[in-house]
Amino acid sequence: MARGMTPRQPAKTGRHEGARVQRQALLKPVSKGRGGQTRASVATRAPKQKAAGKGYDPLAPARVTDILGRLDKAYPDVTCALHHTSAWELVVATILSAQCTDVRVNMVTPILFKKYPTVQDFARLKPEQLEPDIRTTGFFRNKAKSVVGAAKKVVEDFGGQVPDEMDQLLTLPGVARKTANVVLGTWFKKNVGVVVDTHVTRISNRLELSSGTDARKIEQDLMKVIPQAKWTLFSHQIIWHGRKICIARKPKCVECPLENICHAGDKTWSTVEVHTRARV
């Protein structure tokens, strides 16, 4: 190099040739998926993507078994994150968990159950008396009505014992299938259905196990492909997966144990073809 000449430095703006080539390599287009999905760019460090293959069936038993095996490995001992020591406490905690984090519910319930130790204590309350104790969980007026109403029903119609049958549980105010499935699966160890919450809804769509948005439809779809013995465990595993990795806004696909069998339309990183419809 001639004396006095300094080597050319890359522009700070990143507009030099090298940067452009590098950026283009990182913005790899997503290949065309089933159902005529359009091409889209994934603004991530994209590796080579494998096509899903001819005759790809997201519900194929081998694929579902693979998903379940990977979940078992990643989340072997997961259970319900809501703290409880009885079926009644679990009913209350699950009602309070609507539109609220489990962490928040777990902060509220120890004080609540110390103040009102039995279902009979709750049944004697007026909803207004309960409201201040559960205010921080949100929607506290409706939740107070549901909890007190459920307590009265359990005391008056079920001898103070939370019933262990789906149709009876559904007669309790504030208890829909999701709550009933949590109580039946977690406390009574009965696999009567699959718990469908926001995480299960999102991830079932991403994994193409259901294309529904309605909880009942998603539950029916999942019950067709997941073995009954796994219904409760699967729900808990997916809920944990949704909290830790497959989060709503920016799923951590690069860390995900399901990555190379997931074709979700909103993946942030993919080694496989992406199906743009595979999302909620």
Q: Which residues bind ligand SF4 (CB under 6 A)?
A: 206-207, 245-246, 251-253, 256, 258-259, 262, 264, 267
Contact present, 46 and 28 (Cβ < 8 Å): yes
In whole angstroms, the minimum distance from the beta carbon of 270 to ligand SF4 comes to: 7
74 versus 100: smaller Cβ distance to ligand SF4: 74
Catalytic residue among 72, 102, 164, 197: 197
Q: Which runs of consecutive H residues, i.e. helices, occur in 60-126?
A: 61-74, 87-96, 102-115, 119-123
List % helix, strand, coil for the chain (3-state, nearest 5). 50, 5, 45
Sorted by sequence, the CB contacts under 8 Å of residue 117 that are 6+ apart come out as none
155 versus 261: smaller Cβ distance to ligand SF4: 261
In whole angstroms, the minimum distance from the beta carbon of 245 to ligand SF4 comes to: 5
Q: Dihedrals φ, ψ of 59, to 5°?
A: -100, 10
Q: Is 197 a catalytic residue?
A: yes
In whole angstroms, the minimum distance from the beta carbon of 271 to ligand SF4 comes to: 9
143 versus 263: smaller Cβ distance to ligand SF4: 263
In whole angstroms, the minimum distance from the beta carbon of 49 to ligand SF4 comes to: 13
In whole angstroms, the minimum distance from the beta carbon of 178 to ligand SF4 comes to: 21
Residues in the chain: 280
Catalytic residue among 143, 178, 266, 267: 178
> How far apart are the C-alpha atoms of 95 and 23, rounded to whole Å?
49
Nearest Cα residue to 136 out of 113, 158, 105:
105
Tell me how crowded residue 252 is: count the other CB atoms within 10 A of its CB.
Answer: 13
Q: Is 121 a catalytic residue?
A: no
195 versus 253: smaller Cβ distance to ligand SF4: 253
The tokens of 3 are what?
Answer: 């004396």
11 versus 60: smaller Cβ distance to ligand SF4: 60
The catalytic residues are 178, 197
